[in-house]
Amino acid sequence: MRRIVSIAVAALAVAGVFAARSGMRQPAPEEGGKKLIDLKSDLMGPVAPGDSVVFLVGNFAAQHNGAVITCDSAVRYSDMRIEFFGNVLINKNTTYIYGDRAEYDGELNEARVYSDIVKVVDGDATLYTYKFLFNTKKNIGEFADGGVMLNRENLLESVRGYYYADTKELIAVDRVEMRNDEYELKGDSVVYNMATDNAFFFDRTNIWNKDGDYLYADRGSYDKADTLYIVTRNGYILTEKQEIWSDSLHYYRAEDHVILRRDLQLDDAEHKVIAFGDYGEYWKEPGNAFLTRRPAVVSYDLSQGDSLFMCADSMYLFTINENALRRAAAAAKADSLTRLKTDSALLGTTHHPAGELPEGRPAADSLGSPRVPAAGPAGGPRFAAGRFRPGFAGRSGRRSARHAGRRCPESLPQGAGRQVEGGPKSRCGQGQEGKTGGDRQKTPG
């Protein structure tokens, strides 16, 4: 009898091996509405004679709820419980989970993946953790021992997290930190969309943007497309010169424009002004603000005397930068002086028209008289000989030319402008010339 039982067990094992080799498996029937796990391998057999636990090695693959699981080897404990070893890969749609070992429970549709570092890849996003739980029916993953996600330029860290493959979202919980080129965030929990890089944040969220501005909120969101922070509870903004409180706010960081709603307070330390209201808008540069719904403004600049209180139905506060206006006025004045000096220099430049006093040509006219360019007063314009000069209009061109060429003897060439005997002295201490033109007198010998 014992011999017959041994033969039967051996026959069943051989049949199982041949069935696994051929890749055949009967269609998995449903038990209580649940699908059985489909699997295949090159070799399959009982772990021990008469044991219901079966090992599977060689090109192993299993499928359940559309998720495909591959590994080096596996042990099937029952139709709904399998353990996988070596190079484990679980794939469903765009989700790929890599580990060293995994346990799968078909009753719960859950795969527990273990490794020194478990890697979960979905498009550009990669999640690293130590243990990962994935539900193949709901397409939801979970980690509880710390995880880090990298998605393009974004880095997200948290102690716990929930991964939703269908919506491409990661819910990070407990000591959350997030960094990218735009901002750095720390808070209790964040919902991050891997496709759009948008984020929702909740209690005790602290955000520092790349310009150094600080934002606090107990609930809000970030829209990357518009670089827009939306705070819906306990909003607070701190910049280098301003401090803003409001129940809710919209902060357009690219434009440095803030819209405030309900119980707002704005303190501008640079201009020493505090503003209140239930609705307002603020522009960081140049520092303008619009207030309505019971607005009030208090100026506490004591250098101008006592504090000042103002209220109205609506108020618009605008900033005049006096230093900038003074700099602009000084720059305009300097520019006008530069243009004036340039014009004066151009007027004071000696111009020799073509044919007059070229280099190498004797400075004498056709009658042998010296041809000397006229010089005006110091710093004044200079006029070439033979050209029109103011003050000589109405006289003949020849006489005007001779007067234009007359100058003090010490600056004339030797032999030019000799003194007439007995003639009156000039202001330069020399005798004046005689008559011009044909009546010109010559000194004897």
Q: How far apart are CA 393 and CA 8, in angstroms?
A: 141
pLDDT at 313: 83
Residue 439 has pLDDT above 60, yes or no: no
pLDDT in tens, 157-193: 999 999 999 999 999 999 999 998 888 999 999 999 9
pLDDT in tens, 205-220: 999 988 888 999 999 9
Q: How far apart are CA 126 and CA 130, in angstroms?
A: 14
Burial of 428 (0-12, 13-18, 19+ CB in 10 A): middle
Tracing tokens 């309505």 back to the chain, one arrives at 292
Q: Is the dihedral of CA 59, 60, 63, 68 positive or negative?
A: negative
Average of per-residue pLDDT across 123-142:
96
pLDDT at 192: 95
Average of per-residue pLDDT across 221-250:
90
Average pLDDT, the chain: 76
pLDDT at 350: 52
CA distances (Å), origin 242, targets 184, 217, 303, 306, 374: 20, 17, 20, 22, 67
pLDDT in tens, 257-289: 999 999 999 888 887 888 898 998 988 877 788
